Amino acid sequence: TGATGAVAGAYIADITDGEDRARHFGLMSACFGVGMVAGPVAGGLLGAISLHAPFLAAAVLNGLNLLLGCFLMQESHKGERRPMPLRAFNPVSSFRWARGMTIVAALMTVFFIMQLVGQVPAALWVIFGEDRFRWSATMIGLSLAVFGILHALAQAFVTGPATKRFGEKQAIIAGMAADALGYVLLAFATRGWMAFPIMILLASGGIGMPALQAMLSRQVDDDHQGQLQGSLAALTSLTSIIGPLIVTAIYAASASTWNGLAWIVGAALYLVCLPALRRGAWSRATST
């Protein structure tokens, strides 16, 4: 199942044009947001009936996805099928391919940093809520549900119009700015209720990622969309491994004095993206 997101991203890139691609990437991300809310709720309700029920329900849903893919989805790329040499299964080969393309390598660096920054709330939300706001398990669950809803709404209804009106470049910058501001405000928040309006900024910050995916997909030809999306999925997995280790280490080292430092570090990491975004080739990677 680890390749599902990469294949879905490549499929979206194949069936959409440049102007509408970011919106469709946003819709896919919105589906993840809905799943983040509905999945735990459904699992909890079914688990109250039987410990086996959540697993059976997940198997049924996966089976439905399989049937939809087999009988309703049309092949998105009907060109000549190329053989897959053994080196194609080398996880490092895709990064070597991207390294030879200046624009793609620069934008993939931005993608990596944005995914790494996203590990801050993923790793700290629960423990930070308990330490700073004295949240209970119920309040933590409620806050995650609210954020999931806001994230889905932003991805579904803000990403497309914002990218179409201002362009992918400005959408990425706006997303990073909103996310960074949310991190800084959260670092200094003193009451639990303050986190909820800050979530609007964090959810709005999510519009940058679909815009970046759309921009990246336009830098490669149709034959390499799958390779690109696979590389992005690999980077996402890498950040999910090293990100929590880095973030929790910072939190553990600073929690006794001030537990907001990790959020400030996350916001500051966005500054590292600016050199890549200012590359001379940037104009060719920007929609007009």
Q: Which residue has the tokens 């990403």?
A: 159
Scored b (16 or more CB within 10 A) or e, 155-186 reads bbebbbebbeeebbbbbbbbbbbbbbbbbbbb
For 31, 92, 110, 200, 261, the CA distances from 266, given in Å and listed in that order, are 25, 27, 14, 17, 9
Q: Domain 4-69+102-285 maps to which CATH number in 1.20.81.30, 3.40.50.12370, 3.40.50.300, 1.20.1250.20?
A: 1.20.1250.20
Alpha-carbon gap, residue 266 to 180, rounded angstroms: 7
132-184 confidence digits (pLDDT tens): 999 998 898 889 889 989 999 999 899 889 988 888 889 999 999 999 999 99
Which contacts qualify for 79-83: CB closer than 8 Å, 24 or more apart?
79/222, 79/223, 82/223
50-88 confidence digits (pLDDT tens): 889 989 999 999 899 889 888 887 776 665 566 666 665
Alpha-carbon gap, residue 273 to 276, rounded angstroms: 6
- Domain ranges in the chain are 4-69+102-285
Alpha-carbon gap, residue 42 to 87, rounded angstroms: 41
Mean pLDDT over 97-108 rounds to 78
Contact in structure between 175 and 204 (CB atoms under 8 Å): yes
**262: confidence class by pLDDT, cuts 50, 70, 90:** very high
Q: What confidence score (pLDDT) does residue 247 get?
A: 97
pLDDT tops 60 at residue 278: yes
14-50 confidence digits (pLDDT tens): 777 766 787 888 888 888 778 877 888 788 888 888 8
Q: What confidence score (pLDDT) does residue 72 get?
A: 82
Give the percent of the chain with pLDDT over 70.
86
Computed over every residue of the chain, the mean pLDDT equals 85
Q: Select from 83, 76, 124, 113 the least CA-distant residue to 275.
A: 113
Mean pLDDT over 253-267 rounds to 96
Alpha-carbon gap, residue 127 to 148, rounded angstroms: 18
Higher pLDDT, 193 or 89: 193
pLDDT tops 90 at residue 225: no
Mean pLDDT over 262-266 rounds to 97
For 5, 18, 42, 130, 259, the CA distances from 212, given in Å and listed in that order, are 16, 12, 32, 33, 31
Q: What confidence score (pLDDT) does residue 286 get?
A: 46
80-98 confidence digits (pLDDT tens): 566 666 665 565 666 666 6
Contact in structure between 257 and 174 (CB atoms under 8 Å): no
Q: Select from 160, 151, 129, 251 the least CA-distant residue to 199.
A: 151
Q: What confidence score (pLDDT) does residue 244 get?
A: 96
Mean pLDDT over 234-260 rounds to 94
Q: Residues with Cβ < 8 Å from 53, sequence gap 6 or more?
A: 46, 47
Q: Select from 57, 28, 60, 26 the least CA-distant residue to 44.
A: 57
What is the CA 136 to chain-centroid distance, rounded? 27
